[in-house]
């Protein structure tokens, strides 16, 4: 067995996973390609996109930027399979592969979607979702969650993509490390790192600077208290 953060010689499963169900995106078909057409699409308040793959011709579409930002803010955009419903066309099942952003505003400028089927094998980054921080022994004692990997890269079929890896922090103390062996994933989902039990996060002790500042604060309070007591003694005399 692989040693775990809590007790050597045991395997402690600290988390589960959330499966990704296909979500729906409403899209409009673009009638022409090129930079001019892309700029016109953005001026109309939409994001130009391309659907490619499966040995079929690429399809140019546009979608609402709010749909992109919603997935990006949730951290699940690149691990979510979407059914893109194109006005006047058939639905395409896709997986987001790339987003280009404006260099100043960070608004999405273009999205690449890979056309997929149930048998499609993909490499995908899945977000780590750290749960129950308020119940962590180490965090209650002033420890700090040091996230080494915000995402884990997996190889799997499209139908097996977990939307997130849920990691329960409640059992971890200061000095503990959370390794890959401590999480659960669906059958058929394999990390691309296979040569070691890699670290996902640690519970670190408070920094020396924070401890020093706290100690200085306590010392200052003690000095003020002593001076106050001396002042009271002088008054009584």
Residue 82 forms part of a structural domain: yes
Note the pLDDT of residue 171: 86
User: Which pLDDT belongs to residue 60?
Assistant: 95
What CATH number does the domain containing 63 carry? 2.40.240.10
The Cβ of residue 19 has, within 10 Å, a number of other Cβ atoms equal to 11
Q: What is the pLDDT of residue 33?
A: 82
pLDDT at 118: 81
Split the chain (237 residues) into runs of 10 and give each run's mean pLDDT: 33 49 86 86 95 93 95 90 89 95 95 92 94 92 94 93 91 93 90 96 76 56 54 48
Contact 218, 153 (CB under 8 A): no
In this structure, is residue 87 part of a structural domain?
A: yes
Question: Cα–Cα distance between 134 and 127 in angstroms, integer?
Answer: 20
Neighbours of 60 (CB within 10 A): 20
Domains contained in the chain, number: 1
Strand partners, 28: 62
- The boundaries of the domain holding residue 30 are 21-118
Give every CB contact of residue 134 below 8 A, 6+ residues apart in sequence. 140
Angstrom distance (rounded) from CA 43 to CA 64: 12
| pLDDT at 18 (0 to 100) | 55
How high is the pLDDT of residue 130?
94
Residue 102 lies in a domain: yes
Per-residue pLDDT, 224: 56
Residue 163 · residue 80 · CB < 8 Å: yes
């Amino acid at each position: 067995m692989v040693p775990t953060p809590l007790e050597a010689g045991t395997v402690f499963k600290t988390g589960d996973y959330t499966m990704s169900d296909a979500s729906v995106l409403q899209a409009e078909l673009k009638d022409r390609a090129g930079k001019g057409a892309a700029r016109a699409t953005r001026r109309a308040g939409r994001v130009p996109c391309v659907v490619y793959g499966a040995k079929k011709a690429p399809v140019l579409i546009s979608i609402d930027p709010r749909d992109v930002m919603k997935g990006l803010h949730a951290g699940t955009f690149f691990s979510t399979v979407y059914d893109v419903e194109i006005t006047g066309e058939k639905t395409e099942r896709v997986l987001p592969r790339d987003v280009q952003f404006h260099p100043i505003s960070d608004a999405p400028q273009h999205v690449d979607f890979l056309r997929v089927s149930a048998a499609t094998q993909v490499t995908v980054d899945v977000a780590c979702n750290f749960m129950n921080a308020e119940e962590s022994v180490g965090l209650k004692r002033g420890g700090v969650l040091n996230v080494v990997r915000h995402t884990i890269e997996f190889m799997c079929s499209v139908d097996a993509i977990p939307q997130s890896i849920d990691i329960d922090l409640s059992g971890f103390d200061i000095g503990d490390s959370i390794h890959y062996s401590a999480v659960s994933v669906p059958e058929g989902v394999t990390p691309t790192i296979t040569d070691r039990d890699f670290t996902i996060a640690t519970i670190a002790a408070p920094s020396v600077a924070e401890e020093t500042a706290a100690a200085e604060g306590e010392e200052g309070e003690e000095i003020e208290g002593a001076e106050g007591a001396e002042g009271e003694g002088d008054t009584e005399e």
